[in-house]
Structure 1
Amino acid sequence: MKSLRPLGFVLVALMLSQCAPDPPKLINVKIAVSLTPLSTAFFVAESSGYFRQCGLLPELIQVNGGKRAFELLEENRVDFSTSSDSVVSYAVQQNTTPFNILASFASSENDIKLISRQPEPLPANSTLGYWSGSASEHLMQTYLALYQSDKTFDQVDAPPEQLVSLFREGKVDVISVWEPFAWQMTDLIEQNDAHVLDAAALHSLHFLLLSNQNSKLDRTVAERLIGALQLATIKVHQHPQEVQQEIRTVLNADQSFIDWIWNDYLFQVKPATSVRYALLSNSRWFNGSRPLNYQNYLANAESLASPSDLAEQWCQDT
């Protein structure tokens, strides 16, 4: 009888393993993510396993700028995207493909910078470079309206990586670019061959999570995604040194870049309705006295639970 006992244990263990439920299947999702420190929560959620913890298997499609990320959403090539509130306001103004504004996950008053060959005031007939339909144009036009409205300037429309090249080649005199492109000009700034104009706080930028209204994914996927971003944001605040190393790797930057930008960012996942005022302020700038109507774009966000509740609901402890 004693010789049969180990066999009995084996049989019981085998029966229990056959009765154990299969692990939940991960949900495939495509997300267009701007390569900027503002997208830190996405990079951390992927590297730390928070997406999987919340039941998602994402494909992060990394692009330069929220405008490009939004274009992928508009073309139905992704389910979600990151974009600035400026890009969103331009899209609403142009009545593009319907989309949902779900949450805000980062903000900054100094992410976008005006880099000038000459210190202020700008010489008349200078050539200005920005990317239309993005926060780059928003900041440039705001600066001109407030401080340089009595002068005439030539203007060049180009994406940020081209603006940096045009500036170095002497083909433009002032550019409006976000990080990490502004940081790429620090060698010229240190040599006094370029200057950062005093434009901080002229535009408070909010980075938003958007969803494609044409996507076949159900609402719970967005809830899981927000939950994962909430967990990632907690890690940003609890382990900043580890997170900074991750950002250096993703953006192929060194510690001098982190030192240049880190204190300019606020990482916090908030319902999209929290940025309603910022969106309305943008719309008055774009559309004069007649504000744009964001209600249809915010409708889904109004019924979402708080980010912390969504993390608790959908993200399993590991």
Structure 2
Amino acid sequence: MIKKLSLILPFVGIAIYLAMTVPTETSMEEFAAPVKIAMSTTPLSSPLIIAQELALFDKHKVHVELLPVRGGHRSFGMMSDDEVELATSSESVVMFNSFSRNDFTVLASFVESDNDLKLLTLKSSAITDAKLLEGKNVGMIESSASEFFIYAYMILTGNKEVKFNRIYMEASELGPALLSGEVDAISIWEPLGYQLHKEYGDQISQFQTKGIYNLSFNLIAKKATLEASLDSYVKILAAIDEAQSYIAQNPERSKSIVSNFLNIPVRELEWGWSDYLFRLSLSNVLLSNLQTQARWAIATGSVTATQGVPDFRLLIDGRALERAGNTDTHL
């Protein structure tokens, strides 16, 4: 008996050693480098926030780190500079960047809104109609939805011939510039529009712009990371999809979670919450919007185009979305 034990014990010791030193699948995931996502600090990013705060990324076995940043143009820049793997941005940011680079791809749209952008002036300016913007200074964020929005509004209201001065600045500078008189109007996104109304509502005048422009917010990746990270991106989209289901079933709790994360009052979220359509998709509507905006950008000289409208089909990759089980992919 003792002889048998002496033969068995070394193997038992080896087994115990291996069990203690060889990482399990879970521990490997815990120590894996996170997929960093530059996320714009807007309620449009709610599905990512919910997925993070409810540990849905963990549930789908993908390690994610959200890096909050002000504006989709900035998050796109972080991705371009290889500071992060993924970025959130409007389709306008995709369009503007498509004229200078083709090393990125849209994985999915995850929210839409026809009322996230606002055109604001001061009541004291007496600018009550779009045609009165003739010769005025309009503040906007360069190469973003903010820039396209003001032009879409002017075109759709029959004022495309009205000439105004584009004044480019950071999103955080728009409100102070309007209040100081540096600019006569601003094209601004939420929650910045709400914040101006909250603090200076008696001074602010807002144009009726709901339905003028249907913005989509998208998850963007570098093409160079796509093949190696496709499995992770599938899991990320699956987690976002589950987060969107949670938002639909638990709107009040969702608003509370997003409010805490963004450090804004719930009533600020409610200002535009009903305008958000949370869903994962890749459709011909996105493709059409990109083409329309690109033609506008060329016609207005907002971009330098040597070869015409880019082929946006080459900048959209639906593989991750399809593998995540989404059927709203029509390209």
Shared fold per TM-score greater than 0.5: yes
Tell me if 1:92 matches 2:98.
yes
Q: Which residue of 2 aligns with 1:70?
A: 76
Among 131, 136, 139, the residue aligned to 2:146:
136
Asked if the contact 1:102/1:272 (under 8 Å) is kept, the reply is no
Asked if the contact 1:90/1:133 (under 8 Å) is kept, the reply is yes
Aligned-pair distance for 1:259?
Answer: 2.2
Asked if the contact 1:86/1:282 (under 8 Å) is kept, the reply is yes
Asked if the contact 2:281/2:326 (under 8 Å) is kept, the reply is no
SS in 2 for 1:56: coil
With structure 2 as the length reference, what TM-score do the two structures score? 0.81
Describe how 1:93-242 pairs up with structure 2 within 5 A. Answer: 93-94=99-100, 96=101, 98-117=103-122, 118-121=127-130, 122-146=132-156, 147-187=158-198, 190-191=201-202, 193-215=203-225, 217-242=228-253
Q: Tell me which stretches of 4 or more aligned residues in structure 1 moved more than 4 Å.
A: 18-21
Unmatched segments (≥5 aa) in structure 1? 1-10, 311-318
Unmatched segments (≥5 aa) in structure 2? 1-11, 300-306
Count of residue pairs the alignment pairs up: 294
Q: Which residue of 1 aligns with 2:45?
A: 39
Aligned-pair distance for 1:142?
Answer: 2.0
Separation of aligned partners in 2, 1:106 and 1:226: 13
| Deviations 1:186-230 (CA, angstroms, capped at 9, x unpaired) | 136631x21111222221101111111233742111111111111
Asked if the contact 2:151/2:160 (under 8 Å) is kept, the reply is no
CA RMSD of aligned residues (A): 2.7
| Deviations 1:38-89 (CA, angstroms, capped at 9, x unpaired) | 1001100100001111112211111111100100111111111111000001
Aligned-pair distance for 1:251?
Answer: 2.0
With structure 1 as the length reference, what TM-score do the two structures score? 0.84
Separation of aligned partners in 1, 2:231 and 2:274: 33
Separation of aligned partners in 1, 2:177 and 2:57: 39
The alignment-based identity, stated in percent, is: 25
Q: Which amino acid aligns with 1:22?
A: T
For residues 306 and 274 of structure 1, do their structure 2 counterparts lie closer, same or farther at Cα, with a shift above 3 Å needed? Answer: farther
Aligned-pair distance for 1:263?
Answer: 0.6
Asked if the contact 1:273/1:302 (under 8 Å) is kept, the reply is no
Asked if the contact 1:124/1:152 (under 8 Å) is kept, the reply is yes
